[in-house]
Amino acid sequence: MKKTSLKNAKSLKEQIEKKVEELWLESKNKEINTPLEKETWLRIKKSTKKHQRYLYAKIAAVFVGLIGIVGLLMQTDNSQPIQITNNGTTPKHLNLDDGSSVILNRNSSLSYHPEISRTVSITGEAYFDIKKDSLNPFKVHTSAVTVKVYGTSFNVYSFPKDQTTQVSLYSGKVQLENTAGKLTKIIPGQTYSYNHTTHQETIKDHNIQKQIDWTHSKIICHEISMNKLLKKIANYYAITFQVEDSEINKKLVSGSFRVDKDVEDFLEMIKFSHNISYKKLNEHTYLLKINP
């Protein structure tokens, strides 16, 4: 009887090892996309010694194989991702669980998993003031760029309609990784831009205070193209501009504009300063053309 039990136990052990090995092989080709998956793999890699990693890799493979089940369980408990959207006309101030603070621009959203509070995703624009934690980095995911910091303040601009993500550093240091896998660092006073289509990167010196004046419901610009300004206004107000005359896009604009007022206040300003007329086609669309 004892020999039979040992034999059965050995057989069960072999079956378990075989199943773990299968999951491990499958996981090699599995894409790791969600913040929860990324964070788990990162912790496994960092917390294990070199001679232990093979064992823990197998355990991680089991975890990856069970991600789907975990996802289903998450739908029925209190650990669902938290999403905050600013549908108002003024910036929304948020305090995160780790002590960091965020200012969320209008027509923007932020989401995070309560169990991984120092990893968030954003759509739109947000200003971050991150509490320092040298052992636990804070990560911000956009559709094209991931920002990694330990304690700093910076602005992220990444609206769905735009083909560019921008990160402006106010203080401290940040590490940026784009969808092409390239790592970049910037210093305070610099703005990093990444084109989603061409994958081109640029780093320019900027007056960062002007970059974050939106936190006070203002846009301050100095000789920027009308095309660039209209894109920003369209993102903030969730509207579309149809430009009938291409010359409008080439005009240079300087000034200060409130973005907590009706969009037609802005349109009235450019109407008189740049001889541009506008017509409301529907609730979310305006036609712009040069007056004859």
Cβ burial 189-228 (10 Å sphere, 16+ → b, else e): ebbbbbebeeeeeeeeeeebeebbbbbebebebeeeebee
Q: Strand 82-86 and strand 108-113: pairing?
A: antiparallel
- pLDDT tens per residue, the chain (292 residues)? 444 444 454 565 566 556 555 655 555 555 555 555 555 555 555 554 444 544 544 545 444 454 444 444 444 445 688 999 999 999 999 999 899 999 999 999 999 988 887 999 999 999 999 999 988 999 999 999 999 999 999 999 999 988 899 999 999 999 999 998 999 999 999 999 999 999 999 999 988 778 899 999 999 888 899 999 999 999 999 999 999 999 999 999 998 889 999 999 999 999 999 999 999 999 999 999 998 7
Evaluate if pTM is beyond 0.75.
Answer: no
Helix (H, G, I), strand (E, B) or coil at 271: helix
Domains, the chain, ranges and CATH? 2-74 (no CATH), 82-210 (2.60.120.1440), 217-290 (3.55.50.30)
Alpha helix (H) residue ranges in the chain? 2-27, 35-47, 53-65, 67-74, 208-211, 226-237, 247-250, 263-273
What's the alpha-carbon Rg for the chain, to the nearest Å? 25
CB proximity list for 64: less than 8 A, separation 6 or greater = 23, 27, 30, 32, 37
Alpha carbon separation from 64 to 40, 72, 179 (Å, rounded): 9, 14, 22
